Amino acid sequence: MEDLRTIRYVTDNYQDLQGLRLVPLGVPFLAYAAWRLDWLPWAPRDLAVPWIVGSFVVALLISVVLGRHYQRHFGSVHRLPSRFRMPLALVVVLAFLILYGLRHELA
């Protein structure tokens, strides 16, 4: 019975258990936060947007390469569609858009 629970957990959370795929995606956001806090005095102010977009594209490419590495070594798992993932994603996107719109009023 314990094996069945383990199999269900791994199947349901397989994408989330591939943690190395998420690490490169967090680095551009941490770098952007450090830049905004003036912790990177050497970073040019006029090239901020191209630098952030470029680093995010590189992070996406690294994430894809790591995903292929996981798939080659561990295979792939196709889980049943969940009813709660899409509404959760929509709530997160809406919250981000609301906070982005209120950023001047909160500062």
Q: What are the φ and ψ backbone dihedral angles of 15, each rounded to 5 degrees?
A: -65, -40
| Domain locations along the chain | 2-80
Residue 83 pLDDT exceeds 70: no
Q: What is the pLDDT of residues 5-16, one digit of tens each?
A: 888 888 777 777
Which of 20-24, 40-44, 53-57, 77-81 is predicted least confidently?
77-81
**Residue 44 pLDDT greater than 70, yes or no:** yes
Q: How many angstroms separate the CA atoms of 56 and 30, rounded?
A: 11
pTM of the model: 0.61
Q: Answer for the pair 63, 25: CB distance below 8 angstroms, yes or no.
A: yes
pLDDT in tens, 18-38: 778 888 888 888 888 888 888
Amino acid at position 84, single letter: F
